[in-house]
Amino acid sequence: MQTRVRSYSKINLGLAIGPPRPDGFHALSTLYQTIALHDVVSVQARPSARSRILLQSNDSRVPTDGRNTAIRMVEKALDRMGITAEVALHIQKNLPIQGGMGAGSANAAAALIGLEKELEREAPGKLLPPADRLAIAAEVGSDVPLFLIGGAVLGSNRGEAVTPVTDITYAGSTEIHAVMAIPKVGVSTPQAFRDWDQSFAVPSSLHNPQTSSTLEKLSRTYASILQQDLDFAAVKDAESGASGIFRTFGHPLEVGSPGKQQGISREQLHTQGEAQIDLAENSLLALVRTGIENDFETVVFLQHPPLREIKRQLMGSDSGQPAILAGLSGSGSALFGLYRSQGDAEAAQQRVQHDGVPAIVTKTLPRPLYWRNMFAE
Protein backbone atom coordinates (compact mmCIF):
# COMPACT_ATOMS: atom_id res chain seq x y z
CA MET A 1 0.00 0.00 0.00
CA GLN A 2 1.14 3.58 -0.59
CA THR A 3 0.03 7.13 0.15
CA ARG A 4 -0.12 9.56 -2.77
CA VAL A 5 0.08 13.24 -1.87
CA ARG A 6 -0.56 16.20 -4.16
CA SER A 7 2.46 18.44 -3.79
CA TYR A 8 0.96 21.85 -4.54
CA SER A 9 3.01 24.84 -5.68
CA LYS A 10 3.02 28.51 -4.67
CA ILE A 11 3.44 32.01 -5.96
CA ASN A 12 4.74 35.06 -4.12
CA LEU A 13 2.19 37.84 -4.38
CA GLY A 14 4.84 40.20 -3.04
CA LEU A 15 8.38 39.90 -1.71
CA ALA A 16 10.63 42.48 -0.06
CA ILE A 17 14.32 41.73 0.49
CA GLY A 18 16.15 43.06 3.53
CA PRO A 19 19.84 43.12 4.40
CA PRO A 20 22.03 40.01 4.58
CA ARG A 21 22.32 38.43 8.01
CA PRO A 22 25.48 37.16 9.71
CA ASP A 23 24.47 33.58 8.80
CA GLY A 24 24.42 34.44 5.09
CA PHE A 25 20.64 34.46 4.71
CA HIS A 26 18.59 37.60 4.04
CA ALA A 27 15.77 39.00 6.12
CA LEU A 28 12.65 39.19 3.97
CA SER A 29 8.92 39.62 4.07
CA THR A 30 6.67 37.83 1.59
CA LEU A 31 3.07 36.87 1.00
CA TYR A 32 2.83 33.29 -0.25
CA GLN A 33 -0.25 31.91 -2.01
CA THR A 34 -0.68 28.23 -2.87
CA ILE A 35 -2.00 27.34 -6.33
CA ALA A 36 -3.56 24.20 -7.79
CA LEU A 37 -0.64 23.08 -10.00
CA HIS A 38 1.15 20.18 -8.36
CA ASP A 39 3.55 17.25 -8.44
CA VAL A 40 2.51 13.94 -6.88
CA VAL A 41 4.66 12.38 -4.15
CA SER A 42 4.03 8.70 -3.39
CA VAL A 43 5.20 7.30 -0.06
CA GLN A 44 5.52 3.74 1.20
CA ALA A 45 6.87 3.20 4.71
CA ARG A 46 7.13 0.43 7.27
CA PRO A 47 9.11 0.08 10.51
CA SER A 48 12.34 -1.88 10.19
CA ALA A 49 15.53 -2.63 12.11
CA ARG A 50 17.34 0.22 10.37
CA SER A 51 16.28 3.16 8.27
CA ARG A 52 16.62 3.08 4.51
CA ILE A 53 15.22 5.73 2.16
CA LEU A 54 14.96 5.26 -1.59
CA LEU A 55 13.72 7.89 -4.03
CA GLN A 56 12.76 7.63 -7.69
CA SER A 57 11.30 10.14 -10.12
CA ASN A 58 10.02 10.35 -13.66
CA ASP A 59 12.38 13.33 -14.17
CA SER A 60 16.10 12.54 -14.41
CA ARG A 61 16.98 16.05 -13.20
CA VAL A 62 15.56 15.31 -9.74
CA PRO A 63 18.39 14.29 -7.36
CA THR A 64 17.78 10.94 -5.71
CA ASP A 65 20.39 11.26 -2.95
CA GLY A 66 20.77 13.38 0.17
CA ARG A 67 20.58 16.59 -1.86
CA ASN A 68 16.85 16.02 -2.30
CA THR A 69 14.71 17.95 0.17
CA ALA A 70 12.21 15.08 0.43
CA ILE A 71 14.92 12.67 1.58
CA ARG A 72 16.25 15.18 4.10
CA MET A 73 12.75 15.75 5.44
CA VAL A 74 12.11 12.03 5.92
CA GLU A 75 15.49 11.55 7.62
CA LYS A 76 14.83 14.35 10.08
CA ALA A 77 11.26 13.23 10.75
CA LEU A 78 12.25 9.64 11.50
CA ASP A 79 14.99 10.85 13.81
CA ARG A 80 12.59 13.18 15.66
CA MET A 81 9.98 10.40 15.95
CA GLY A 82 12.57 7.95 17.22
CA ILE A 83 11.60 5.43 14.52
CA THR A 84 13.65 3.40 12.04
CA ALA A 85 11.83 2.56 8.83
CA GLU A 86 12.19 1.57 5.20
CA VAL A 87 10.75 4.37 3.09
CA ALA A 88 10.20 4.42 -0.67
CA LEU A 89 9.47 7.77 -2.31
CA HIS A 90 8.42 8.51 -5.87
CA ILE A 91 8.08 12.04 -7.24
CA GLN A 92 5.86 12.45 -10.29
CA LYS A 93 7.35 15.70 -11.55
CA ASN A 94 4.98 18.11 -13.30
CA LEU A 95 6.36 21.40 -11.99
CA PRO A 96 9.50 23.17 -13.24
CA ILE A 97 12.83 22.87 -11.45
CA GLN A 98 14.29 26.22 -10.31
CA GLY A 99 11.02 27.84 -11.33
CA GLY A 100 10.27 29.90 -8.23
CA MET A 101 7.14 27.86 -7.51
CA GLY A 102 8.57 26.07 -4.49
CA ALA A 103 8.34 22.63 -6.09
CA GLY A 104 11.23 21.05 -4.20
CA SER A 105 10.05 22.50 -0.91
CA ALA A 106 6.51 21.30 -1.59
CA ASN A 107 7.86 17.81 -2.32
CA ALA A 108 9.53 17.79 1.10
CA ALA A 109 6.33 18.79 2.88
CA ALA A 110 4.35 16.21 0.91
CA ALA A 111 6.88 13.52 1.83
CA LEU A 112 6.39 14.32 5.52
CA ILE A 113 2.59 14.28 5.21
CA GLY A 114 2.71 10.95 3.38
CA LEU A 115 5.22 9.48 5.83
CA GLU A 116 3.04 10.34 8.81
CA LYS A 117 -0.03 8.83 7.18
CA GLU A 118 1.89 5.63 6.41
CA LEU A 119 3.36 5.32 9.89
CA GLU A 120 0.03 6.11 11.52
CA ARG A 121 -1.09 2.71 10.27
CA GLU A 122 2.13 0.92 11.18
CA ALA A 123 3.12 2.74 14.39
CA PRO A 124 0.13 4.57 15.91
CA GLY A 125 0.83 7.42 18.29
CA LYS A 126 4.13 8.43 16.72
CA LEU A 127 2.94 11.53 14.85
CA LEU A 128 4.92 14.71 15.33
CA PRO A 129 3.47 17.69 17.21
CA PRO A 130 2.72 20.64 14.86
CA ALA A 131 5.57 22.71 16.31
CA ASP A 132 8.06 19.92 15.61
CA ARG A 133 6.80 19.54 12.05
CA LEU A 134 7.33 23.25 11.36
CA ALA A 135 10.75 23.22 13.04
CA ILE A 136 11.94 20.31 10.90
CA ALA A 137 10.52 21.95 7.78
CA ALA A 138 12.42 25.16 8.52
CA GLU A 139 15.65 23.17 8.85
CA VAL A 140 15.11 21.62 5.42
CA GLY A 141 14.33 24.82 3.52
CA SER A 142 12.96 28.35 3.86
CA ASP A 143 9.87 27.67 1.72
CA VAL A 144 8.99 24.28 3.25
CA PRO A 145 6.94 25.43 6.28
CA LEU A 146 4.37 27.29 4.17
CA PHE A 147 3.35 23.97 2.58
CA LEU A 148 2.42 22.63 6.02
CA ILE A 149 -0.16 25.45 6.22
CA GLY A 150 -1.42 26.17 2.69
CA GLY A 151 -3.54 29.04 1.38
CA ALA A 152 -2.31 32.58 1.99
CA VAL A 153 0.72 32.63 4.30
CA LEU A 154 2.85 35.52 5.49
CA GLY A 155 6.54 34.63 5.58
CA SER A 156 9.23 36.51 7.49
CA ASN A 157 12.76 36.10 8.81
CA ARG A 158 14.22 34.17 5.83
CA GLY A 159 10.72 33.05 4.76
CA GLU A 160 10.46 30.09 7.13
CA ALA A 161 8.70 31.99 9.95
CA VAL A 162 5.14 31.52 8.75
CA THR A 163 1.79 32.97 9.78
CA PRO A 164 -1.50 31.85 8.17
CA VAL A 165 -3.59 34.81 7.04
CA THR A 166 -7.08 35.15 5.61
CA ASP A 167 -7.27 33.67 2.12
CA ILE A 168 -7.01 36.23 -0.67
CA THR A 169 -10.33 37.01 -2.36
CA TYR A 170 -11.63 38.53 -5.58
CA ALA A 171 -15.35 39.13 -6.10
CA GLY A 172 -15.99 37.04 -3.00
CA SER A 173 -14.13 33.98 -4.30
CA THR A 174 -10.97 32.49 -2.81
CA GLU A 175 -10.27 30.57 -6.05
CA ILE A 176 -8.87 33.22 -8.37
CA HIS A 177 -8.19 32.51 -12.04
CA ALA A 178 -4.48 32.37 -12.73
CA VAL A 179 -1.92 31.72 -15.46
CA MET A 180 1.57 30.40 -14.86
CA ALA A 181 4.15 31.19 -17.55
CA ILE A 182 7.01 28.70 -17.37
CA PRO A 183 10.08 29.80 -19.39
CA LYS A 184 12.71 27.20 -20.11
CA VAL A 185 15.44 29.25 -18.43
CA GLY A 186 16.23 28.48 -14.79
CA VAL A 187 17.08 31.15 -12.22
CA SER A 188 19.40 30.38 -9.31
CA THR A 189 18.03 31.85 -6.08
CA PRO A 190 21.49 32.19 -4.45
CA GLN A 191 22.74 34.03 -7.54
CA ALA A 192 19.69 36.31 -7.49
CA PHE A 193 20.49 37.25 -3.89
CA ARG A 194 24.14 37.90 -4.82
CA ASP A 195 23.02 40.13 -7.69
CA TRP A 196 20.74 42.00 -5.29
CA ASP A 197 23.57 42.56 -2.81
CA GLN A 198 25.93 43.75 -5.54
CA SER A 199 23.32 46.12 -6.95
CA PHE A 200 22.24 47.70 -3.68
CA ALA A 201 25.22 47.09 -1.36
CA VAL A 202 22.94 46.93 1.68
CA PRO A 203 24.55 47.14 5.13
CA SER A 204 25.02 43.88 7.01
CA SER A 205 23.61 45.19 10.30
CA LEU A 206 19.99 44.29 10.93
CA HIS A 207 19.62 46.64 13.84
CA ASN A 208 19.52 49.86 11.83
CA PRO A 209 15.80 50.66 11.32
CA GLN A 210 16.58 52.30 7.98
CA THR A 211 17.66 48.97 6.47
CA SER A 212 14.29 47.36 7.06
CA SER A 213 11.90 50.18 6.17
CA THR A 214 10.70 48.44 3.02
CA LEU A 215 10.06 45.21 4.88
CA GLU A 216 8.27 47.08 7.63
CA LYS A 217 6.02 48.84 5.13
CA LEU A 218 5.17 45.62 3.31
CA SER A 219 4.48 43.75 6.55
CA ARG A 220 2.26 46.57 7.83
CA THR A 221 0.33 46.60 4.57
CA TYR A 222 -0.33 42.86 4.68
CA ALA A 223 -1.46 43.06 8.28
CA SER A 224 -3.80 45.96 7.60
CA ILE A 225 -5.41 44.62 4.46
CA LEU A 226 -5.85 41.08 5.71
CA GLN A 227 -7.17 42.36 9.06
CA GLN A 228 -4.94 40.11 11.14
CA ASP A 229 -3.72 40.85 14.64
CA LEU A 230 -0.18 39.50 14.37
CA ASP A 231 1.41 40.84 17.54
CA PHE A 232 2.99 37.44 18.20
CA ALA A 233 4.81 37.74 14.87
CA ALA A 234 6.48 40.88 16.15
CA VAL A 235 7.76 38.94 19.14
CA LYS A 236 9.14 36.14 16.97
CA ASP A 237 10.69 38.69 14.63
CA ALA A 238 12.45 40.46 17.48
CA GLU A 239 13.76 37.14 18.77
CA SER A 240 15.26 36.41 15.35
CA GLY A 241 17.19 39.68 15.34
CA ALA A 242 15.41 41.06 12.28
CA SER A 243 14.69 44.37 13.98
CA GLY A 244 11.86 46.46 12.59
CA ILE A 245 10.28 44.08 10.10
CA PHE A 246 7.11 43.64 12.15
CA ARG A 247 7.34 46.74 14.32
CA THR A 248 3.86 48.02 13.41
CA PHE A 249 1.89 44.80 13.36
CA GLY A 250 -1.14 44.50 15.62
CA HIS A 251 -3.07 47.42 14.09
CA PRO A 252 -5.56 45.95 11.59
CA LEU A 253 -7.47 48.27 9.30
CA GLU A 254 -10.79 49.41 10.76
CA VAL A 255 -13.08 48.81 7.81
CA GLY A 256 -15.78 51.11 9.15
CA SER A 257 -13.37 53.95 9.87
CA PRO A 258 -11.15 54.65 6.86
CA GLY A 259 -8.11 56.81 7.37
CA LYS A 260 -7.64 56.03 11.05
CA GLN A 261 -4.92 53.43 10.58
CA GLN A 262 -1.51 53.52 8.94
CA GLY A 263 -2.81 51.12 6.28
CA ILE A 264 -4.75 52.22 3.22
CA SER A 265 -8.30 53.52 3.50
CA ARG A 266 -11.36 52.15 1.75
CA GLU A 267 -11.65 55.34 -0.32
CA GLN A 268 -8.27 54.55 -1.88
CA LEU A 269 -9.25 51.08 -3.04
CA HIS A 270 -10.13 51.50 -6.71
CA THR A 271 -8.71 49.66 -9.72
CA GLN A 272 -9.52 49.12 -13.42
CA GLY A 273 -12.97 50.70 -13.16
CA GLU A 274 -14.15 48.68 -10.14
CA ALA A 275 -16.26 50.63 -7.67
CA GLN A 276 -15.61 50.90 -3.95
CA ILE A 277 -14.16 47.69 -2.57
CA ASP A 278 -15.37 45.54 0.29
CA LEU A 279 -12.15 44.22 1.82
CA ALA A 280 -13.74 40.90 2.73
CA GLU A 281 -14.80 40.41 -0.90
CA ASN A 282 -11.79 41.85 -2.72
CA SER A 283 -8.61 41.72 -0.65
CA LEU A 284 -6.60 41.08 -3.85
CA LEU A 285 -7.60 44.47 -5.24
CA ALA A 286 -6.61 46.06 -1.96
CA LEU A 287 -3.16 44.50 -2.24
CA VAL A 288 -2.79 45.75 -5.81
CA ARG A 289 -3.55 49.30 -4.74
CA THR A 290 -0.62 49.23 -2.32
CA GLY A 291 1.81 48.74 -5.20
CA ILE A 292 2.72 45.24 -4.04
CA GLU A 293 5.74 43.92 -5.94
CA ASN A 294 8.61 41.45 -5.91
CA ASP A 295 12.07 42.91 -5.29
CA PHE A 296 13.70 40.06 -7.22
CA GLU A 297 12.31 41.53 -10.46
CA THR A 298 14.80 44.39 -10.15
CA VAL A 299 17.80 42.10 -10.62
CA VAL A 300 16.35 39.02 -12.34
CA PHE A 301 14.86 41.02 -15.23
CA LEU A 302 18.28 42.60 -15.84
CA GLN A 303 19.91 39.18 -16.08
CA HIS A 304 17.03 37.66 -18.08
CA PRO A 305 15.35 40.44 -20.15
CA PRO A 306 12.81 38.09 -21.84
CA LEU A 307 11.15 37.60 -18.44
CA ARG A 308 10.17 41.27 -18.39
CA GLU A 309 8.38 40.83 -21.73
CA ILE A 310 6.57 37.75 -20.43
CA LYS A 311 5.29 39.79 -17.49
CA ARG A 312 4.08 42.44 -19.93
CA GLN A 313 2.18 39.80 -21.89
CA LEU A 314 0.67 38.39 -18.71
CA MET A 315 -0.38 41.87 -17.61
CA GLY A 316 -2.02 42.56 -20.98
CA SER A 317 -2.68 46.21 -20.18
CA ASP A 318 -3.60 47.01 -23.80
CA SER A 319 -5.57 43.84 -24.44
CA GLY A 320 -8.92 44.76 -22.93
CA GLN A 321 -8.52 41.71 -20.67
CA PRO A 322 -5.78 42.84 -18.26
CA ALA A 323 -4.49 40.99 -15.24
CA ILE A 324 -5.36 42.14 -11.75
CA LEU A 325 -1.78 41.40 -10.78
CA ALA A 326 1.20 39.84 -12.56
CA GLY A 327 4.77 39.24 -11.53
CA LEU A 328 7.71 36.98 -10.90
CA SER A 329 7.18 34.11 -8.46
CA GLY A 330 10.01 33.95 -5.95
CA SER A 331 13.26 34.49 -7.82
CA GLY A 332 11.73 32.99 -10.97
CA SER A 333 11.85 31.99 -13.66
CA ALA A 334 8.11 31.24 -13.48
CA LEU A 335 5.76 34.22 -13.66
CA PHE A 336 2.09 34.46 -12.75
CA GLY A 337 -0.96 36.50 -13.64
CA LEU A 338 -4.24 36.71 -11.71
CA TYR A 339 -7.45 37.45 -13.63
CA ARG A 340 -11.09 38.42 -13.25
CA SER A 341 -12.45 35.53 -15.32
CA GLN A 342 -11.57 32.24 -16.97
CA GLY A 343 -11.81 34.00 -20.33
CA ASP A 344 -9.28 36.64 -19.31
CA ALA A 345 -6.92 33.93 -18.09
CA GLU A 346 -7.21 31.97 -21.33
CA ALA A 347 -6.56 35.14 -23.36
CA ALA A 348 -3.38 35.73 -21.34
CA GLN A 349 -2.31 32.14 -21.86
CA GLN A 350 -2.64 32.62 -25.62
CA ARG A 351 -0.62 35.85 -25.55
CA VAL A 352 2.23 34.15 -23.73
CA GLN A 353 2.14 30.98 -25.82
CA HIS A 354 2.15 33.07 -29.01
CA ASP A 355 5.71 34.06 -28.05
CA GLY A 356 6.69 30.41 -27.61
CA VAL A 357 6.56 30.29 -23.80
CA PRO A 358 4.63 27.45 -22.12
CA ALA A 359 1.71 28.72 -20.04
CA ILE A 360 -0.87 26.93 -17.91
CA VAL A 361 -4.28 28.12 -16.70
CA THR A 362 -4.92 27.31 -13.05
CA LYS A 363 -6.43 28.82 -9.89
CA THR A 364 -5.27 29.94 -6.49
CA LEU A 365 -5.84 27.31 -3.82
CA PRO A 366 -7.34 28.48 -0.50
CA ARG A 367 -6.45 26.67 2.70
CA PRO A 368 -9.62 24.53 3.04
CA LEU A 369 -9.27 23.15 -0.50
CA TYR A 370 -5.52 22.70 -0.06
CA TRP A 371 -6.13 20.15 2.68
CA ARG A 372 -9.38 18.71 1.36
CA ASN A 373 -7.73 17.73 -1.93
CA MET A 374 -4.30 16.82 -0.53
CA PHE A 375 -4.48 13.05 -0.96
CA ALA A 376 -4.65 11.65 -4.49
CA GLU A 377 -6.46 8.43 -5.36
**Domains of the chain, CATH where assigned:** 3-166 (3.30.230.10)
Count CB neighbours of 166 within 10 A: 17
pLDDT at 363: 98
The angle, 0 to 180 degrees and rounded to 10, between the axes of the packed helices 103-122 and 130-140 is 140
143: annotated active-site residue:
yes
| Per-residue model confidence as pLDDT tens for the chain (377 residues) | 799 999 999 999 999 888 888 887 888 888 999 999 999 999 999 999 999 999 999 999 999 999 999 999 999 999 999 999 999 999 999 988 777 899 999 999 999 999 999 998 877 777 899 999 999 999 999 899 999 999 999 998 877 889 998 899 998 899 999 999 999 888 888 889 989 888 876 444 443 444 345 455 555 555 555 544 344 344 344 333 332 222 232 222 222 222 222 333 333 333 334 444 455 567 888 777 777 889 999 999 999 999 999 999 999 988 888 999 999 999 989 999 999 999 999 999 999 999 999 999 999 999 999 999 999 87
Phi-psi region of 74 (alpha: psi -120 to 50; beta: other; left: phi over 0): alpha
* Chain-centre distance for alpha carbon 149: 11
pLDDT at 224: 56
**Residues 311-335 pLDDT 10s:** 999 999 888 889 999 999 999 899 9
Percentage above 70 pLDDT, the chain: 79
Task: With CA atoms as reference, report the closest residue to 166 among 367, 372, 339, 364.
Answer: 367
pLDDT at 26: 83
Greatest Cα-to-Cα distance within the chain, rounded to the nearest angstrom: 66
**At 253, which amino acid appears?**
L
pLDDT at 283: 80
pLDDT at 10: 97
pLDDT at 226: 53
pLDDT at 282: 77
pLDDT at 219: 55
Q: 39, 117, 143, 195: which one is catalytic?
A: 143
pLDDT at 241: 35
10: annotated active-site residue:
yes
Phi first, then psi: give them for residue 264, nearest 5 degrees: -80, 155
pLDDT at 157: 83
Buried residues in 71-108 as b, exposed as e (16+ CB within 10 A):
bbbbbbbbeebebebebbbbbbbebbebbbbbbbbbbb
